[in-house]
Amino acid sequence: MGSVIVIGGGISGLAAAWQLRGHADVTVLEGHTGVGGKLRTGTIAGITVDEGAESLMALRPEAVELAAAVGLGDALCDPAKAPTTVWTRGGLRPLPPGHVMGIPTDPAALAGSGLLSPGGVARAAAEERLPAAPLAEDLSVGHYLAARFGREAVDRLVEPLLGGVYAGRADLLSLRAAMPRIAAVAEQGGPVLPALRRMRAAGAPRSAPVAVQGVAGGTGRFPRAVAEACGARILTGTTARSLHRLPGNRWRVSAMTGDGPLTMEADGVILAVPAYEAAPLLRPHAPLAGEELSAIPHASTAVITMAFSRARSRFLPAGNGFLVPPVDGHLLKAASFLSNKWPWLRASAPDTFVLRASVGRIGEEALLSRPDRHLIRAAIAELHHAVGPMGEPLAARVTRWNRGLPQYCVGHHDRVARIREATSKLPGLALCGAAYEGVGVAACVATGHQAARHLLTHP
Ligand SMILES: Cc1cc2nc3c(=O)[nH]c(=O)nc-3n(C[C@H](O)[C@H](O)[C@H](O)COP(=O)(O)OP(=O)(O)OC[C@H]3O[C@@H](n4cnc5c(N)ncnc54)[C@H](O)[C@@H]3O)c2cc1C
């Protein structure tokens, strides 16, 4: 393959560019002024913090291996050890260790935690006595798990994790796509609890989602390092507007830059943009793929970052933060105590305590229409309620991620298969990104590598 244009300079597109180094002349088109997409650092009270993703999944290797390959091996760091904690029923309540996306391997350990009522604990523990035929079709997480463990377990154990990872809701998300380990057990048949215990005894699965690493200085360093190391020509401030097929399986990309229109041609194109951006580019060439991509819903979220003076605050919380079940009706869906969680941040700003609160699951768009100052006031009030009287922050800032997280609804795997089938008829074109096989950074890196390999093997 002589030349490739990668559209989208988030981590997926950059991972593709990295995989193509030495095999093709690569140009990355990025609409924003900088690369990275949802991996972005900013500053608050003069301190560098992550505004989007703050960690890389380390249970699978792709992200941490790429970070090490581009020179960030020494910057990879573990978060402080702390249990996953849920703010519910008026208190901060740790989940017992050994849960899989909130599903406890030992429901008896929930007794006395305040997370579930005694009846809810008994109902969850009864799962191993319920008959379980092999699951033949995809179901929603909520549908399947409520039938097995009871609605209370879904509302108070599973929903907080789904909100934190996907900004999603149990009754919409696909069991296969959003909880693949549970789905694999369900498809085998038999109760879930003994299977999870067997996996745990065999060393897997580890408790999710704790097996993550950060990047000292912020995960925003990661895409910048890949962009530098991959050797590609990176054109920022350049938004692709349309794609044209040319004779000889070549492609022309028409883009808009700050200086006016730009047209480029290449042997291959990788679309590494969100589904709703890929849809209009693809529709003229693969109408079905365009329709399917447009049909993927996206949740919008906002991250409210706050910096507190350690000297002036009456109280600062312990732990790494908390998740919140929607059933409790709070504004916040999660809070991450960055200065406790990331040693690099504590070392770089010892006098300041930085945290971030997040707001917005699918269907909660109305919350996000509030002005920044309302979100900040409401977040401070709920934090005081959850952890104690922290006082006023020195600085606070809202980062909005409009349509930031694709939702893997029931049937998502089949939809992705249809998209891939439709685009397989377009030589020299490949897709990657968060819309397909995982929203986490590691999954995005994997799709980028896969798209690059596809072009190299199917020119
Ligand atoms: C608030 C938040 C927190 C998160 N936290 C975590 C976390 O802690 N750990 C984790 O693993 N995952 C996390 N995620 C998920 C993860 O960060 C993303 O799924 C992932 O970074 C997406 O990467 P991407 O390259 O596929 O897409 P993006 O990051 O969206 O990159 C796509 C790029 O394409 C550009 N673009 C779009 N259209 C065009 C066009 N027409 N022409 C040119 N360029 C274009 C965009 O500007 C963007 O830079 C988080 C997501 C959000 C929103």
Written as six digits, the tokens of 123 are: 């109902």
Does some domain include residue 152? yes
Please return the burial class of 212, using the count of CB atoms within 10 Å of its CB with bins 0-12, 13-18 and 19+.
buried
In 3-state terms, what secondary structure has residue 321?
Answer: strand
Domain CATH number, residue 199: 1.10.3110.10
Written as six digits, the tokens of 147 are: 């039938």
Please return the burial class of 261, using the count of CB atoms within 10 Å of its CB with bins 0-12, 13-18 and 19+.
exposed
In 3-state terms, what secondary structure has residue 367?
Answer: helix
> Is the Cβ–Cβ distance between 95 and 191 less than 8 Å?
no
CB distance 9 to ligand 1 below 6 Å = yes
Which atom of ligand 1 is nearest to 281's Cα? 41
10-19 confidence digits (pLDDT tens): 999 999 999 9
Cα–Cα nearest to 412, from 209, 164, 165, 179: 179
| Buried residues in 271-295 as b, exposed as e (16+ CB within 10 A) | bbbbbbbbbebbbebbeebbebbee
Mean pLDDT across the chain? 95
Helical packing angle, 180-188 and 141-149, nearest 10°: 60
Does some domain include residue 46? no
Residue 211's pLDDT is 82
CB distance 95 to ligand 1 below 6 Å = no
CB distance 60 to ligand 1 below 6 Å = no
312 pLDDT above the threshold of 80: yes
CB distance 218 to ligand 1 below 6 Å = no
Q: Are residues 230 and 262 in the same domain?
A: yes
Written as six digits, the tokens of 4 are: 């490739």
Domain CATH number, residue 444: 3.50.50.60
> Is the Cβ–Cβ distance between 328 and 160 less than 8 Å?
no
Q: Could you tell which of 14, 19, 38 is best to mutate to test the pocket of ligand 1, judged by most ligand atoms within 8 Å of the CB?
A: 38
Q: Are residues 201 and 118 in the same domain?
A: yes
Q: Are residues 396 and 310 in the same domain?
A: yes
CA distance 16 to 452: 5
Alpha carbon of residue 325 to chain centroid: 18
Which atom of ligand 1 is nearest to 432's Cα? 26
Phi and psi (nearest 5°) for 57? -60, 125
Average pLDDT value for residue range 160-173: 96
Give the confidence band of 209 by pLDDT, cuts at 50, 70, 90.
very low
CA distance 120 to 353: 37
Which atom of ligand 1 is nearest to 36's Cα? 49
31 pLDDT above the threshold of 70: yes
Q: Could you tell which of 35, 241, 273 is best to mutate to test the pocket of ligand 1, judged by most ligand atoms within 8 Å of the CB?
A: 273
Q: Are residues 182 and 270 in the same domain?
A: no
Strand 3-7 with 25-29, pairing: parallel
Q: Whose CA is nearest to atom 31 of ligand 1?
A: 10
Which atom of ligand 1 is nearest to 63's Cα? 11
Specify the DSSP class assigned to residue 129. Answer: G
Domain end residue (candidates: 387, 406, 425): 406
> Of how many residues is the chain composed?
459
Domain count, the chain: 3
Domain end residue (candidates: 209, 234, 253): 209
Does some domain include residue 350? yes
| Buried residues in 100-114 as b, exposed as e (16+ CB within 10 A) | bbbbbbbbeebeebe
CA distance 409 to 171: 9
Does some domain include residue 44? no
Angle at 375 between CA 372 and CA 378, to 5 degrees: 150
Q: Are residues 361 and 418 in the same domain?
A: no
Alpha carbon of residue 147 to chain centroid: 27
Does some domain include residue 87? no
For the chain, what is the total number of helices (H) and then of strands (E)?
Answer: 18, 22
Q: Whose CA is nearest to atom 48 of ligand 1?
A: 37
Does some domain include residue 236? yes
Q: Are residues 11 and 159 in the same domain?
A: no
Q: Are residues 356 and 398 in the same domain?
A: yes
Residue 208's pLDDT is 40
Distance (Å) from CA 3 to ligand 1 centroid? 24
Q: Could you tell which of 215, 305, 441, 445 is best to mutate to test the pocket of ligand 1, judged by most ligand atoms within 8 Å of the CB?
A: 441
**Cβ neighbours around 367 below 10 Å, total:** 18
Does some domain include residue 34? yes
Give the confidence band of 58 by pLDDT, cuts at 50, 70, 90.
confident
Domain CATH number, residue 376: 3.90.660.20
Does some domain include residue 180? yes
Q: Whose CA is nearest to atom 53 of ligand 1?
A: 404
Distance (Å) from CA 179 to ligand 1 centroid? 21
Handedness of CA 238, 372, 401, 229 (dihedral sign): positive
Q: Are residues 261 and 396 in the same domain?
A: no
Residue 204's pLDDT is 56
210 pLDDT above the threshold of 90: no
Q: Are residues 302 and 444 in the same domain?
A: no
Q: What is the residue whose two structure tokens read 């950059």?
A: 14
206 pLDDT above the threshold of 80: no
Q: Which residues pair with 367 in a beta bridge?
A: none
Which atom of ligand 1 is nearest to 433's Cα? 26
Q: Are residues 204 and 109 in the same domain?
A: yes
CB distance 12 to ligand 1 below 6 Å = yes
Q: Are residues 163 and 289 in the same domain?
A: no
Average pLDDT value for residue range 86-109: 92
Judge if the upstream peptide bond of residue 205 is cis by omega within 30 degrees of 0: yes
1 pLDDT above the threshold of 90: no
In 3-state terms, what secondary structure has residue 326?
Answer: helix
Residue 207's pLDDT is 42
Which atom of ligand 1 is nearest to 440's Cα? 11
Phi and psi (nearest 5°) for 444? -65, -40
CA distance 147 to 145: 5
Q: Give percent above pLDDT 90 in the chain.
A: 91
**Cβ neighbours around 203 below 10 Å, total:** 7
Q: Whose CA is nearest to atom 36 of ligand 1?
A: 8
CA distance 51 to 400: 9
CB distance 359 to ligand 1 below 6 Å = no
Domain end residue (candidates: 406, 425, 447): 406
Residue 336's pLDDT is 97
Q: Are residues 185 and 262 in the same domain?
A: no
Cα–Cα nearest to 338, from 64, 52, 49, 58: 49
198 pLDDT above the threshold of 70: yes
Domain assignment of residue 250, given as a range: 3-39+51-77+216-296+408-457
